[in-house]
């Protein structure tokens, strides 16, 4: 989406990953390894050096935001603009418990939850939520930034034959989770905070958001996930929830709000002050959110955005790419995408030129 931008600007993309031959680097013109298991100060030093060496104009960090959000001035001194929300927002949103507290105070609907960090707290939370949620299944997951790692549905029922014949689920018994926490504590291992809450079944809804510094939302595309299919939803109520949250946290540029339904009502699942991994799917709406965010960061103007095409369904498929051992693959030819259902007029999708200098057309994505 950055390469095929509506301003026809030639973009050069740099990427880093802890694995030198990570497939994500195949999309980059230049790929380099980045340090693994380092603190925030060391990671920021690496990022500053990388941007200085490569004369990076725009840094789009999808992780390690806590290491970079408070150092935008240092990057600006070397000519790099960092696409990042304020440090205060990053600090809150990296904790799901504090996210729920702040969101509830802002009037955003949230599910009931408990934050626990030992076996006794966990057992108490399960007991309380089981009593308060009228028999809803519960789940547990790390309260910090762990993506989907650590997520378990709590299930004490005995294994049945139909369970063996169905697709596997991330199940764990209450006793086994409590036992893991207790053993870790006994062995002196640090136990991070976990979140216990109802397991929200049904499609996950992801709202990709573009907003100006200060939290004014410019565009939001809601999509639901069902297997390999994604639905581009025409539901203003979902975008309104995201708008309230983005404004409350003053999120800037690209962010992502995830929702699920509980008793027929959308509630917050989590919010991320960074672009989502699935933002490429919004291309089928006719909007180029990544490029609009780059324009907004560099010029203060996202450009003319067309009215999005909503209500359609797309499929996420796989492709195969050979990656040479020990180094990133060369940039592949772009995959052929299906034609959109309707073609918008040229003037609706191509704003006036952004007048970027050649140096301003480079972008880095730490992926």
Question: How far is Cα 331 from Cα 329, in angstroms, rounded to an integer?
Answer: 6
Residues 89-111: pLDDT tens digits? 999 999 999 999 999 999 999 99
Q: Which uninterrupted H or E stretch holds 196?
A: strand 194-198
DSSP assignment of 209-273: EEE-TTS-EEEEEEEEEETTEEEEE--HHHHHHHHHHHHHHT--EEEEEEEEEETTEEEEEEEES
DSSP for 150-191 reads: T-EEE--SPP-HHHHHSPP--EE-HHHHHHHHHHHHHTTPPP
For the chain, give me the number of helices (H) and strands (E)? 11, 16
How confident is the model over 339-361, as pLDDT tens digits? 333 323 222 333 333 333 333 33
- Domains of the chain: residue spans and CATH: 12-92+202-366 (3.30.470.20), 112-198 (3.30.1490.20)
∠ at Cα 19 (12, 297), nearest 5°? 35
For residues 346 and 348, give the distance between their C-alpha atoms in angstroms, rounded to a whole number.
Answer: 5
The single-letter DSSP state of residue 45 is H
pTM equals 0.85
- The secondary structure of 101-141 as a DSSP string is HHHHHTT------EEE-SHHHHHHHHHHHHHHTTT--EEEE
285-318 exposure pattern, b = at least 16 Cβ within 10 A, e = fewer: bbbbbbbbbbbbbbeeebbebbebbbebebeeee
d(Cα 196, Cα 316) in Å, to the nearest integer?
31
Coil, strand or helix: which one is 197? strand
Rounded Cα gap, residues 42 and 311, in angstroms: 45
CB 78 within 8 A of CB 48: yes
pLDDT per residue of the chain (367 residues) written in tens, 0 to 9: 999 999 999 999 999 999 988 888 988 999 999 999 999 999 999 999 999 999 999 999 988 999 999 999 999 999 999 999 999 999 999 999 999 999 999 999 999 999 999 999 999 999 999 998 888 999 999 998 666 788 999 999 998 999 889 989 999 999 999 999 999 999 999 999 999 999 998 899 999 999 999 999 999 999 998 888 999 999 999 999 999 999 999 999 999 999 999 999 999 999 999 999 999 999 999 999 999 999 999 999 999 999 999 999 999 888 887 776 655 444 444 333 333 333 232 223 333 333 333 333 344 443 4
3-state secondary structure of 331: coil
* Short-list 308, 305, 309, CA closest to 351: 305
């Amino acid at each position: 989406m950055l390469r095929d931008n509506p301003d026809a600007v030639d973009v050069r993309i740099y990427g880093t990953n802890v694995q030198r031959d990570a497939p994500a680097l195949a999309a980059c013109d230049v790929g380099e390894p980045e340090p693994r298991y380092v603190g925030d100060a060391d990671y920021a030093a690496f990022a500053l050096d990388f941007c200085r060496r490569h004369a990076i104009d725009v840094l789009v960090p999808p992780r390690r935001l806590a290491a970079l959000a408070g150092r935008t001035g240092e990057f600006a001194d070397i000519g790099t603009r960092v696409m990042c929300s304020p440090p205060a927002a990053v600090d809150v949103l990296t904790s799901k418990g504090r996210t729920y507290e702040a969101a509830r105070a802002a009037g955003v609907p949230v599910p009931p939850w408990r934050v626990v960090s030992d076996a006794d707290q966990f057992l108490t939370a399960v007991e309380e939520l089981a009593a308060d949620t009228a028999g809803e299944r519960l789940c547990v997951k790390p309260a910090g930034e762990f993506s989907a790692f650590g997520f378990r549905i709590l299930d004490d029922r005995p294994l049945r034959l139909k369970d063996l014949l169905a697709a596997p689920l991330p199940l764990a018994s209450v006793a086994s989770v409590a036992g893991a926490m207790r053993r870790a504590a006994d062995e002196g291992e640090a136990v991070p905070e976990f979140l216990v809450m109802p397991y929200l079944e049904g499609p996950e809804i992801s709202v990709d958001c573009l907003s100006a510094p200060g939290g004014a939302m410019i565009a939001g595309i809601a999509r639901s996930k069902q297997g390999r299919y994604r639905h581009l939803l025409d539901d203003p109520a979902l975008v309104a929830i995201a708008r309230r949250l983005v404004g409350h946290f003053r999120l800037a540029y690209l962010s992502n709000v995830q929702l699920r339904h509980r008793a027929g009502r959308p509630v917050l699942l989590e919010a991320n002050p960074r672009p989502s991994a699935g933002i490429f799917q919004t291309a089928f709406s006719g909007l180029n959110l990544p490029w609009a965010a780059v324009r907004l960061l560099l010029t203060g103007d996202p450009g003319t955005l067309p009215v999005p095409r909503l209500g359609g369904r797309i499929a996420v498929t796989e492709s195969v790419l050979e990656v040479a051992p020990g180094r990133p693959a060369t940039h592949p030819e772009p995959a052929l995408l299906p034609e959109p259902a309707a073609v918008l007029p040229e003037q609706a999708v191509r704003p006036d030129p952004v007048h970027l200098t050649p140096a301003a057309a480079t972008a880095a994505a730490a992926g």
